[in-house]
Amino acid sequence: MAVVETRSLTKIFKKAEEGAVNDVDLVTRDGEFLVFLGPSGSGKSTLLRMIAGLEEPTRGDVLIGGRVVTDLPPRARGIAMVFQSYALYPHLSVEKNIAFPLKAHGVVKEKRRERVDWAAGLLGIGHLLARKPRELSGGERQRVALARAIVREPTVFLLDEPLSNLDAKLRASAREELTQFHKRVGTTTIYVTHDQVEAMAMGNRIVVLHQGIVRQIGTPREVYDEPADTFVATFLGSPPMNLVEDGDFIAGFRPESLLPADMVQGEKAAVRFRVSLVEYLGSERVLHGIIEGGRFDGRKVVSRVATAQSAAFGEGTAHDFAVPAREVKFFDKASGKRTGPRELSWR
Amino acid sequence: MAVIPAEGAAQARRRRRGPSDATWLGIGFIAPAVIYIAALVGLPLVLAFLYSVGDVKVGSVGYQFVGLENFRSVLESPSFRRSLVNSFIFTISTQVVVLVCANALALALRDHFRGRGVVRFLILLPWVAPISLGAIGWKWILDSIYSVVNWVLWKMHLVNMFDPPMWLGEPGLAMASVIAVHAWRMIPFSTVILLAGLTSIPRDIPEAAAVDGAGFWRTHFEITLPMMRPIINVAVLFGVVFTFTDMTVVYILTRGGPYDSTQVLPSLAFFTGVLGSDLAEGAAISVFLVPILVVVAALMLRVAHRAEVT
């Protein structure tokens, strides 16, 4: 178990171009499940690869367990990595795949066998040891890749979108398994994904990246409820947070906070909401529409209402909706950064 | 209105009877290639088989079937046995040298560096330049009097100026020289094939090996090479066939000498059949190559087929 730290870690691929990763300062907690979340091209994989030692930083340092490892090769960093493609060795059996890291570290044969059995048992792939990777399903390959990663008990796990090659159903169960697995082994884990559901469901904390810059670090609840800027606010959540401009600031509220007026208790901001499109999603409906009247007349907003409460909201109808005052977040218009609460007159 | 479809159907029926126009067009396109191969490869091959069991000499008019007489006579000749052994030494040694060098070059050329294009071009040069020119160049380089190799060695105080090695005049050295020059010629070809194999390995795999703790040699020998095995087999198969049937280098550098020490089967067949006028025996020597090559090819194809990728 170890803490991973980066100090103004930067990667610039081509001179005179913007960096893929810019001055990233992070510290994981011991045994934490930390998720790097961002759209493609946000630098999350590059950041992970620099921690792994597969990519040389342009500047900055990587520390693992308090030791500067920036100039060490991957094998000297005590890490294990699971790749998006799993990167299993196609010519080796599952057993030899799992044993490879042990062999490379000079573990004796009897001990290797023992460790492979332990790892295979932990992931329930004991019956697959004699097979070749091409004879395995996607889920099985993923487990073999995980077994290969844990077999020499690394201090840090690095996972690069390990679920993205699985189909939707398998992904949900693999997500749960991975979380359980992390709880059992308790190794510091860094997990890269572009899928916010994965990030929210699995992460102890989430690092939101955009254009190589850390936008926010926080627990899933923090990044969702208290987004640090408009990027985080719109990147997380589906549909994303409603943003309405007002002078030099932007007000934001989640679609699930825009509710029929009679359902909102306490201090609230009331608006007239005309529904233009209804998406039926089973347990809930997503209502797309515009605000009518008041200062935000004509702004497009989205509401998410439980199906049971939304029977009356047909397309083309207008209703009284409201947002609880505490659910409205404010951002500076110029920088997009979060600012303190303000007075907002809706009418 | 009813007439038109009926006529169409009749036309279609008529068309269906013989080969369609497209088929004739196809035949027209493939014919030149078939004729070319039949005339320039097929016919000589059949003739070689016929001659090998006949008594044909240059200028003779009749043809007498003599069974395996030519093969018996060839097998008894010490020259032939020497050449057979030499052919194997020549082929195997060349392939070993080529594989080692091509591997190293492919690894070096995989990574990006300044001037990679120029280096790739230079490495390909021996393959694209006419072999006769290359071989003549080497003949000068290895010449007994003007050898630059000897001059360099002499300047480095490694050889005696008055008793330099006779690169093409001493049996062991001559064989080594012939092998070196043929390897020089074959390396570009193998390098290109191996480079293709190397670049087809997903980048993740060697990276995973690096994270797993493997250094350069372990990654190369336990991961990269086994994954490249099918394509290495192809390179070796081609290399063996090209080397086993080649006589250019031997012919230009040593003419099989000294004392047949570099004589290989193709050159012996040429010297016996064409220069020695004994077409039948020359053909028998050539035909002797066929089963060997068939066995080699079958073996390699089986290995290539069995090799597992992905």
Across the interface, do B210 and A54 touch by the CB < 8 Å criterion? yes
Give the C-alpha distances (Å, rounded to integers) separating A32 from A11, A105, A143, A202.
25, 26, 21, 11
Residue-averaged pLDDT of chain A:
88
Residues of B in contact with A83 (CB under 8 A): 204, 207-208
C-alpha–C-alpha distance, residues B268 and B273, integer Å: 8
What's chain B's average pLDDT?
82
Q: Say whether pLDDT at B7 is over 80.
A: no
Rounded Cα gap, residues B139 and A169, in angstroms: 70
A239 CA: distance to closest CA in chain B (Å): 34
pLDDT band at B3 (very low <50, low <70, confident <90, very high): very low
Amino acid at B265: L
Q: What is the distance between the alpha carbons of residues A73 and B210, in angstroms, rounded to a whole number? A: 8
Alpha-carbon distance values, B93 to B29, B86, B90 (Å)? 42, 10, 6
pLDDT band at B16 (very low <50, low <70, confident <90, very high): low
Beta-sheet strand order (sheet of A33-37) = A79-82, A156-160, A188-193, A33-37, A205-210, A213-218
- Give the closest-approach CA distance of A134 to chain B in angstroms: 6
Provide the chain B residues 205-244 that lie in CB contact (below 8 A) with chain A.
205, 207-215, 218, 222-223, 226-227, 229
- What distance in Å separates the CA atoms of residue B141 and residue B167, rounded to the nearest whole number? 9
Radius of gyration of chain A (CA): 24
**Is A93 at the interface with chain B, CB within 8 A?**
no
| B2 has a pLDDT exceeding 50 | no
CA B52 to chain centre: 23
Question: Minimal Cα distance from A156: which residue of B?
Answer: B211
A84 to B226: CB separation less than 8 angstroms, yes or no: no
For residue B15, pLDDT beyond 60: no
pLDDT in tens, B167-219: 777 778 888 888 988 888 888 888 988 988 888 888 889 999 999 888 889 99
Cis peptide before A324 (omega within 30 of 0): no
Strand A205-210, strand A33-37: pairing = parallel
pLDDT of residue B1: 43
Tell whether the model's pLDDT for residue B35 goes beyond 90.
yes
Picking from B302, B264, B222, the residue whose alpha carbon sits closest to that of residue B90 is: B264
pTM: 0.77
Distance between CA atoms of residues B160 and A254, nearest Å:
91
Chain A residue at shortest CA distance from B202: A87
Burial (Cβ within 10 Å: 0-12, 13-18, ≥19) of residue A71: exposed
pLDDT value of position B30: 93
Across the interface, do B205 and A89 touch by the CB < 8 Å criterion? yes
Question: For residues A25 and A7, is the Cβ–Cβ distance under 8 A?
Answer: yes
Q: pLDDT tier at B110 (50, 70, 90 boundaries)? A: confident
Distance CA A273, CA A264 (A): 15
Least confident of A96-105, A107-116, A268-277, B56-65: B56-65
Q: Per residue in A205-260, pLDDT tens?
A: 999 999 989 999 999 999 999 999 999 999 998 889 999 888 788 889 999 998 88
Per-residue pLDDT tens digits for A211-226 = 989 999 999 999 999 9
Query: Quick one: DSSP state of residue A229?
Result: B
The two three-digit tokens of residue B49, written as one number: 């088989």
Tell me, yes or no, if A74 comes closer than 8 A to chain B by beta carbon.
Answer: yes
Burial of B238 (0-12, 13-18, 19+ CB in 10 A): middle
CA B30 to chain centre: 26
| CB contacts, 8 Å: B231 with chain A | none
Q: Which residue of B has its CA nearest to A153?
A: B212
Decide: A34 and A207 in contact? Cβ < 8 Å: yes
Q: Given this model, what pLDDT does residue A221 score?
A: 93
